[in-house]
Amino acid sequence: MQRICIYPKDIQLVTGKSERYGRDLIKKIKEHFQKQPHQVVTIEEFCQYLGLCPNTVNQIIR
């Protein structure tokens, strides 16, 4: 079973940046997609925002 949401630790693995960067990026993505604070960011939204391939990201965070 695959996850559909992404967390700061996953973003850290993908980008090589800090976990704090991941938290800030999730906040920006939520603002971009006009999500409420309790809603999660999906891997698809993360990839769309950064212009990454979802298949590649899924392989990295497994």
Instruction: Return the pLDDT at 3.
Output: 86
Q: How far apart are CA 24 and CA 39, in angstroms?
A: 15
**pLDDT tens, 44-53?**
999 999 999 9
Domain parsing of the chain, residue ranges: 8-61
**pLDDT value of position 53:** 95
Ramachandran region, residue 7 (left: φ > 0; alpha: ψ -120 to 50; beta: rest): beta
Instruction: Give the pLDDT confidence of 9-50 residue by residue, as tens digits.
Output: 999 999 999 999 999 999 999 999 999 999 999 999 999 999
pLDDT at 35: 97
How far, in whole angstroms, is CA 19 from its chain's centroid?
12
At residue 62 the predicted structure's pLDDT band, cuts being 50, 70 and 90, is confident
